Structure 1
Amino acid sequence: MPAEPAAAAQEPGLRARKKEQTRRMLRESAARLFAARGFAGTTIADIAAAANVSERTFFRYFDSKEALLLPDGIELFGWIERELAARPDGEEPLQAVCAALLAAAKPFSAGSLTALTHPLEGTEALVVGRLVQAFSGFEERLTALVERRLPSGTPDRDLHAAVLACAALSAVRAVLRTQRGRRAAGTAQPTAADLLPRALALLSQIGTPAT
């Protein structure tokens, strides 16, 4: 008899873990399909089948296909901001941004990184508008965080911060574009997680005197 309350106490936790696992499988399946077929070329039925669940189950977790894009992107934005805020105060701004991007990108799928660049081509107008709005707000917040790290006497401090923030995000765009090009050419294609450190390292070297 004493074992029953313990089992009952564990059951809600098990249900929560299973729900989170299903939600994660749906997001990961969608990210793979979006990357391979594009947003417009992927259906809810495709996503559900790839996650090995029914369409009815899909709608228990997400209202629409579009909803799969926004939560990961917004969550990723917040993660980057927190990582950057936690970097040492004396760290060089570009180095801090690159480190924050690398730390934040690790838990996310390659498909989620598209939120750091530009809305997916072929996406419905409503989703494009929401993604553009979310991205613009993130870009402004990231610029503000970079500006706080620059010395107060930095010439054109606001411009300097904007260039650094936008350059770092452009490096992410370059990774995704390069990956798409290699995929189309049928050449070996490291994952976005493999290419991102290389891209940010190249960015850090720009303007550095040759040795």
Structure 2
Amino acid sequence: MPSEITPAGLRERKKEETRRLLLEGAARLFGERGFEGTTVADVAAYANVSVRTFFRYFESKEALLLPDGVEIFAYVENALSERPADEAPLDAVCNALLAAAEPFSASTLTALSHPLEDIENVVTTRLVQAFSDFEERLTVLVQRRLPPDTPDADLKAAVIACAALSAVRAVLRTRRARRASGIADTGTAPLVRAFGILHEIGTLEQGA
């Protein structure tokens, strides 16, 4: 006997589908027309909803450039849970952040095919705020990966989580400065390098 879906469940599915279509439409239209050449009405029309409905899901056109902090953290949390249990905590966090950053980097770079300084300010601000908001939550996840007898486990977990997220923030600021100078800097390669620098610092400290 097929399971019945309640009206509340149908409404939630409809909301999720509308949000997905709005994001899908934004990605496609930004890529075809550029951010500046796409209006809220264009995105709403793609999802077959009204402009008024659009603003029930997103506060502005700029908000379409990145998902909210909850969604970003969900990507990180899922990626971290898939890392090998015996992987070093810093490696696990860095690899999880890299895996989570890829879809967001791709969609943002598509939208910014014609980079504009004010848009990049919005993107950088939203990402930095999102990462800052879940430093404590990431710290908890890191601590769960540490052996139970780890000395100062709470402190070690906090340092690992905050160091990794600080590297992400450093990449965002550096990328923005490089673009302003006309230097090409795309994809997740700068993030890979930033995490490499973290490991280099750790190696230097160990050798001191």
Contact (CA 8 Å) 2:22, 2:44: kept in 1 or not? no
Contact (CA 8 Å) 1:98, 1:168: kept in 2 or not? yes
Return the letter of the residue paired with 1:23.
L
Give SS of 1:152's match.
coil
Residue 85 of structure 1 corresponds to 81
Of 175-184 and 93-102, more deviation after overlay is shown by: 175-184
Match status 1:165 vs 2:157: no
Match status 1:208 vs 2:191: no
The aligned runs of 1:8-87 (5 Å cut-off) are 20-26=20-26, 29=30, 47-48=39-40, 57-63=50-56, 64-65=59-60, 68=64, 71-87=67-83
Return the letter of the residue paired with 1:145.
L
- Cα distance 1:206–1:111, how it changes in 2: closer, same or farther (>3 A)? farther
Give SS of 2:144's match.
helix
| Number of residue pairs the alignment of both structures matches | 170
Deviation string, structure 1 residues 110-154 (Cα, Å, up to 9, x no partner):
6869xxxxxx9689xxx98xx95x655522111011111122232
Aligned mate of 1:102, from 87, 95, 98: 98
- Supply the distance in 1 between the matched residues of 2:172 and 2:39 (Cα, whole angstroms): 21
- Supply the distance in 1 between the matched residues of 2:81 and 2:197 (Cα, whole angstroms): 23
Give SS of 1:201's match.
helix
What stretches of structure 2 of length at least 5 have no aligned partner? 1-15, 110-119
- Supply the distance in 2 between the matched residues of 1:194 and 1:72 (Cα, whole angstroms): 23
Contact (CA 8 Å) 1:106, 1:193: kept in 2 or not? yes
- Percent of counterpart pairs with the same letter? 49
Contact (CA 8 Å) 2:171, 2:190: kept in 1 or not? yes
Contact (CA 8 Å) 2:44, 2:54: kept in 1 or not? no
Return the letter of the residue paired with 1:48.
V
Shift of 1:199: 1.3
- Supply the distance in 2 between the matched residues of 1:26 and 1:136 (Cα, whole angstroms): 26
Shift of 1:47: 4.6
- Supply the distance in 2 between the matched residues of 1:166 and 1:155 (Cα, whole angstroms): 18
Return the letter of the residue paired with 2:71.
E
Residue 155 of structure 1 corresponds to 151
Deviation string, structure 1 residues 66-96 (Cα, Å, up to 9, x no partner):
7547744321111101111221111100000
Give SS of 2:26's match.
helix
What stretches of structure 1 of length at least 5 have no aligned partner? 1-15, 34-41, 114-119
- Supply the distance in 2 between the matched residues of 1:144 and 1:77 (Cα, whole angstroms): 13
- Supply the distance in 1 between the matched residues of 2:19 and 2:196 (Cα, whole angstroms): 38
- Cα distance 1:59–1:206, how it changes in 2: closer, same or farther (>3 A)? farther
Give SS of 1:89's match.
coil
Give the TM-score normalised by structure 1: 0.62
Shift of 1:164: 0.5
- Cα distance 1:46–1:82, how it changes in 2: closer, same or farther (>3 A)? same
Deviation string, structure 1 residues 25-76 (Cα, Å, up to 9, x no partner):
426749x85xxxxxxxx8xx8653886969x855443432175477443211
Return the letter of the residue paired with 2:23.
R
